[in-house]
Chain A
Amino acid sequence: MTVYIFIVLAVLAIASALAMVINKNVVNSALFLVLNMVSLAGIYLLLNAQFLAIIQILVYAGAIMVLFLFVIMLLNVEQEEKLFDKFRVKYFLAFLLGVAVTGQIFYSLAGVTDMLPEISDKMAAVGTVEAVGDVLFTTYLLPFELTAILLTAAVVGALMIAQHKIKRTEEI
């Protein structure tokens, strides 16, 4: 049963990723990305990572992508009409490089199965909100606090850049 669920989710994830890249309409692209993220959340559940599955939907699909859509609507971005209207060397080159990278990664992934045969039993207990919360506030305190700084900086920075204010100080 899990195998079938996985196949469906995996196909969905890859298909939506592809659709996102080749779609001319930016809004559609964004929606495909949402679909991709939701299917990933499903895969996370298969891997016993419940906490992350929820976060994935809440933060990524829910918050980040809404922000994307909001900006797309705000800027009223034009469609990329010229995409794929004719063959370009660039596309071929990009495809070739992509194949090369995938090939190398696949090559180096060989043999992982023997190393990690199956999902660990411990996982059912480890992936819960409780377990994650526990380590976040003890072992991972420093990165956690630093993330707070990071987010503050991001918000302050975004305000600085996006705000439309031009100041006049005295001329030198």
Chain B
Amino acid sequence: MESATALLSLIIALPLAGFLINGIIGLFVESFRTKKQLIGIIANTAVFIPFVIAVYFFMNMNAGSEAVVFKLFTWIEAGSFSVDIAYRIDQLSIMMTLVVTGVGFLIHLYSMGYMADDEGYWKFFAYLNLFIFAMLNLVLGNNLLLLFLGWEGVGVCSYLLIGFWYTDMAKSDAAKKAFIYNRVGDFAFLIAMFMVFQTVGSLNFDAILGNLEAFSEEYIVAIGLLMFVGATGKSAQIPLFVWLPDAMAGPTPVSALIHAATMVTSGIYLISRMSPMYVLSPEVMLVVAVIGALTAIVAATIAITQNDIKSVLAYSTVSQLGYMFLALGAGGFTAAMFHVVTHAFFKACLFLGSGSVIHTMHHVEHELEHEGKDVHFDPQDMRNMGGLRKYMPSTYKTFLISTIAIAGIPPLAGFFSKDEVLAMAANAGAGEFGSYMYMALWGVGIITAFLTAFYMFRLTLTTFHGEFKLGKRFKEAIGAEKYLHESPATMTIPLWTLAGAATVGGFLGVPNFIVETFTHEEAHVNLLHNWLHHVTADVELTLSHAVEWGLMATSIVIAVLGVVVAFRMYNNNQQQESDAAIAKRFGGLYDLWKDKYNLDEVYEGLIVRPIVRVSDKVLAVFDMKVVDGFVNATAGTVKLFGSLFRYVQTGVVSSYALAFVIGVIVILYLMVM
């Protein structure tokens, strides 16, 4: 136990130490900043060792192991209320830890190559380590408060990293946007935490989940919904998802780590952690499922219309997160976690692959400039690419593997997890749990599966197949192919590792029924389910085998259909024609997708602009500039009040005395009357 505690504190402490070392030395010693090798090694070690320790813990556990709580010290103690700095290792948290440190390490490794030419190299790695530290607090914390600290911490890191190249105005705006939308969710989470504390008097998971009968029905609904609102902020669900695509302004490894593999899944982790509470309220579960399914299809339709390679991936992430919430809402907490894991593999790989492509395109732009040609193009726009497979074979192959995986073609990882998600949705619709609403949601899920396969292959085919199109779009760029090159090994090794994981990761959760059909005995081949079912409160899968086969066949057919359609439309440089054809076919609907359902405009028009207009009018009287800089709904309103109230402060003593006397009257009234 002693040594285990020490090891556990190492998991937490090493990333923090990495952050401190790189951050502090980098801040004060300028010569240190150029020692990039050293900085990279420090940062990588700070993540790799925790990964090894996590593996060690994992090896010493089995599915039946009880949760082990390591209490480092009591953080806050006041009367009956105490909060410990305590970490909890159980099946769920160790799984998340493995993902965070494992994928995190690979992305650190990748960043060494990707960020090699950046001035802020030391800052970048310091932030990355800080992020890992915060994320580990989130997944390992034994109480809601510690989880919340991690939750806030990852938010801050995400803010810092999105705005990493803060000289670019748009990027710093994106960072603010992400920050603000997340705050909305955080408020809800905070209130939920208060309600929990008010009821149980503790924030420990054991105490909360062991005392569920103490909660009244209304409280369960309220807490469930509030936590879910918190999760929609962090995990980019309707209505708070608009920040995630903008967050792609950050460096690509950041997108891979934070906005695909780890941080955005923390909402799913939270709900899985609280699953025993969620299953008590079918209404909340339905809300979660509906929001999840809606997000999935909305984001998928937007993804079809995007031309920015990272933008497609971003909407794809939102869509896949929607899948996970659909699973949560259908009672398939294991299924959701399964999808979290597989998604972490293939989406991280896709992002890193796109990073590799962008890296090369940047190089091309740079070299052209070197030649003295004044060519400016968007290195993220897939219309400028094409045919890259010849030049970047590793990137192409890994990207393709991951695309197949996300499209849900067996036997790659995405197929199994997506199939389980859809099976759970159908189960909720047909089985004892839930209502027929879920059948509709299953339908939405199937359509989304088709769209996913379609837009992912659209992306891959346009980028890697056909011929290099830059020369066609810009005369000066003819012959620029010679500058295309494969990325260095520090970047391709993580790609291959992740692609490998994306290939075999699905076997963690082979559905039991496949074996059962053949052996006619109860089978337990769904490793992940076996692993997690102690921790999460999964709904029993009651579908018959025939139905399950049917569902699986449907999703395979749908996925293959999506792939085939994409091949027919995009394989040979027909991207523009095909996009136009789709646009013609769907007419106004396509425009709606292309405009991202006008959500940004709706928010702007519904909340932001009226506030600005009203305050403009009011404040014009006082000859003051209004809401400067941070224009957003909440801060706008509050600042409006602030702007109004500040004029109470007229600067004239008499008016101060007036307020004083009013105060006297109020206090006298309160005391005497």
Contact present between A and B (CB < 8 A): yes
Q: Which residues of A are at the interface with B, using a C-beta cutoff of 8 A? A: 90, 93-94, 97, 100-101, 104-105, 107-108
Q: Which of B654, B658, B661 contacts A101, CB < 8 Å?
A: B661
A108 nearest CB neighbor, chain B only: B672
Closest to A105 in B: B668
Please give me the residue from chain A that is nearest to B668 by CB atom: A104
Whether B665 and A97, one on each chain, are in contact in the complex, defined by CB atoms closer than 8 angstroms, is: yes
User: Are B672 and A107 interface neighbours, CB within 8 A?
Assistant: yes
Q: Are B672 and A93 in contact (CB under 8 A)?
A: no
Assembly CA distance A155 to B12 (angstroms): 61
Q: Is the CB of B665 within 8 A of A90?
A: no
Please give the distance in Å from B582's CB to the nearest CB on chain A.
67
**B639-673, CB under 8 A of A: which get 1 and which 0?**
00000000000000010001001101100110010
| 12 new A-B contacts at CB < 8 Å, known A93-B658, A101-B664, A104-B672 | A90-B654, A94-B658, A97-B658, A97-B662, A101-B665, A101-B668, A104-B665, A104-B668, A105-B668, A107-B672, A108-B668, A108-B672
B658 and A100 contacting across the interface, CB-CB below 8 Å? no
A100's closest neighbor in chain B, by CB?
B665
Contacts of B669 in A (CB 8 A): 104
Alpha-carbon gap, A105 to B669, bound state (A):
10
Contact residues of B: prevailing secondary structure: helix
- Bound form: Cα–Cα A45–B672 in Å: 32
A93→B662 CA distance, assembly (Å): 10
User: For chain B, which range describes its interface: under 10, 10 to 19, 20 to 34, or 35 or more residues?
Assistant: under 10
* C-alpha spacing A166/B484, complex, angstroms: 72
Q: How far is the CB of A162 from chain B (nearest CB, A)?
A: 20
Interface residue ranges, B against A (CB under 8 Å): 654, 658, 661-662, 664-665, 668-669, 672
Residue of B nearest to A98 (CB): B661
Distance of A103 Cα from B654 Cα, bound (Å):
22
Residues from chain B with a CB closer than 8 A to the CB of A93 are 658
User: 20 A-B residue contacts at CB 8 Å?
Assistant: A90-B654, A93-B658, A94-B658, A97-B658, A97-B661, A97-B662, A97-B665, A100-B665, A101-B661, A101-B664, A101-B665, A101-B668, A104-B665, A104-B668, A104-B669, A104-B672, A105-B668, A107-B672, A108-B668, A108-B672
Chain B residues positioned under 8 Å from A104 (CB to CB): 665, 668-669, 672
**In chain B, what residue has the closest Cβ to A90?**
B654
Tell me, in angstroms, the Cα distance from A166 to B658 when the chains sit together.
36
Residues of A within 8 A of B672 (CB): 104, 107-108
- B672 (CB) vs chain A CBs: closest residue: A108
A88 to chain B, nearest CB (A): 11
Q: State the 7 A-B residue pairs at the shortest beta-carbon distance, nearest first.
A: A104-B668, A97-B661, A100-B665, A108-B672, A101-B665, A104-B672, A101-B664
Instruction: Please indicate the chain B residues that have their CB under 8 angstroms from the CB of A94 in the complex.
Output: 658
B658: which A residues are within 8 A, CB to CB? Answer: 93-94, 97
Residues of A within 8 A of B668 (CB): 101, 104-105, 108
Distance (Å) between the CB of A106 and the closest chain B CB? 11
Task: Tell me the bound Cα distance from A90 to B661 in angstroms.
Answer: 13
By a CB distance below 8 angstroms, the chain B residues around A108 are 668, 672
Measured between beta carbons, the chain A residues less than 8 angstroms from B664 are 101
Smallest CB gap from B664: residue in A: A101
Complex CA gap A93/B664 in Å reads 15
- How far is B29's CA from A152's CA once the two chains are assembled, in angstroms? 53
**Complexed CA–CA distance, A105 and B668 (Å):** 9
The interface residues of chain B lying within 8 Å CB-to-CB of A90 are 654
Complex CA distance for A101 and B661, rounded to whole angstroms? 8
The minimal Cβ–Cβ distance linking B521 to chain A, given in whole angstroms, is: 86
Q: With the chains together, A131 CA to B446 CA distance in Å?
A: 98
Once bound together, how far apart are the Cα atoms of A107 and B661, in whole Å? 17
Q: Which residue of A lies closest to B662 (CB)?
A: A97
- In the complex the two chains form, what is the Cα distance from A107 to B668 in whole Å? 11
Nearest CB on A from B271, distance (A)? 55
| Inter-chain contacts of B661 with A (CB < 8 A) | 97, 101
Complex contacts, A97 vs chain B, CB 8 Å: 658, 661-662, 665
Q: Determine the chain B residues whose CB is within 8 A of the CB of A105 once the complex forms.
A: 668
Nearest CB on A from B223, distance (A) = 45
User: Shortest CB–CB separation between residue A104 and chain B, in angstroms?
Assistant: 5
| Cβ of B668 to closest chain A Cβ, rounded Å | 5
Cα distance, A86 to B669, chains bound together (Å): 32
Q: Give, as a whole number of angstroms, the nearest-CB distance from B656 to chain A.
A: 13
A27 vs chain B, min Cβ distance (A): 22
Give CA–CA (A112, B496) in the complex, Å. Answer: 91
CA distance A105 to B673 in the complex (A): 11
Task: Report A103 CB to chain B, min CB distance, Å.
Answer: 9
Nearest Cβ in chain A — how far from B673, in angstroms? 8
Chain A residue at minimum C-beta to C-beta distance from B655: A90
Least Cβ distance of A90 to chain B in Å?
7
Name the residue on A nearest B657 (C-beta). A94
For the complex, give the distance between the alpha carbons of A105 and B664 in Å: 11
Give bound CA distance, A100 to B672, whole Å. Answer: 13
Complex Cα distance A133/B275, Å?
78
CA distance A90 to B655 in the complex (A): 9
Tell me which residues across on chain B come within 8 A of A107, comparing CB atoms.
672
Which residue of B is nearest A104, CB measured? B668
Q: Which residue of B lies closest to A93 (CB)?
A: B658
Please give, as numbers and ranges, the residues of chain A lying within 8 Å of B665 by CB-CB distance.
97, 100-101, 104
- For the complex, give the distance between the alpha carbons of A93 and B668 in Å: 18
- Distance of A108 Cα from B668 Cα, bound (Å): 10
Q: Tell me, in angstroms, the Cα distance from A90 to B650 when the chains sit together.
A: 14
In the complex, what's the smallest C-beta–C-beta distance from B638 to chain A, in angstroms? 29
What's the minimum C-beta distance from B128 to chain A, rounded to whole angstroms?
42
Q: In whole Å, how far is B667's beta carbon from the nearest beta carbon of chain A? A: 10
Measured between alpha carbons, how far is A75 from B367 in the docked complex, in Å? 78
Query: Roughly how many angstroms separate A97 CA and B665 CA in the complex, as a whole number?
Result: 8
Q: How far is the CB of B666 from chain A (nearest CB, A)?
A: 10
> Which residues of chain A have C-beta atoms less than 8 A from B662's C-beta?
97
- Compute how far the CA of A100 lies from the CA of B658 in the bound complex, rounded to whole angstroms: 13
The chain A residue with its CB closest to the CB of B661 is A97
Taking the closest CB of chain A, its distance from the CB of B467, in whole angstroms, is 67
How many angstroms from the CA of A106 to the CA of B654 in the assembled complex? Answer: 25
With A and B bound together, what is the CA distance between A108 and B672 in angstroms? 7
CA distance A97 to B661 in the complex (A): 7
| Distance between B663 CB and nearest chain A CB, rounded to angstroms | 11
Q: How near does chain A come to B43, taking the closest CB pair, in angstroms? A: 42
Min distance, Cβ A97 to any Cβ of chain B, angstroms: 5
Which residue on chain A has the smallest CB distance to residue B667? A104
A101, B667: Cα distance in complex, Å: 11
- CB B671 to nearest CB in A, in angstroms, measures 9
| Complex: A80 Cα to B429 Cα, angstroms | 83
Q: A101 contacts which chain B residues (CB < 8 A)?
A: 661, 664-665, 668
A153 to B312, CA, bound (A): 73
Kindly state the separation between the CA atoms of A94 and B657 in the bound complex, as whole angstroms. Answer: 10
Bound together, the chains give a CA A109 to CA B132 distance in angstroms of: 67
B30 to chain A, nearest CB (A): 27
Complex Cα gap A54–B672 (Å): 36
Give the residues in chain A near B654, CB-CB below 8 Å: 90
A58 to chain B, nearest CB (A): 30
Query: Shortest beta-carbon distance, A4 to chain B, in Å?
Result: 34
Q: How far is the CA of A104 from the CA of B668 in the complex (A)?
A: 7
How far, in whole Å, are A107 and B671 apart by their CA atoms in the complex?
12
Q: What separation, in Å, do the CA atoms of A105 and B672 have in the docked complex?
A: 10
Q: Chain B residue with minimal CB distance to A97? A: B661
Minimum CB–CB distance from A81 to chain B (whole Å) comes to: 17
A49→B415 CA distance, assembly (Å): 99
Min Cβ gap B383→A in Å is 59
Give complex CA distance A157, B665 in Å. Answer: 34
A101 and B669 alpha carbons, distance in the complex (Å)? 10
Report the minimal beta-carbon distance from B670 to chain A, rounded to whole angstroms: 11
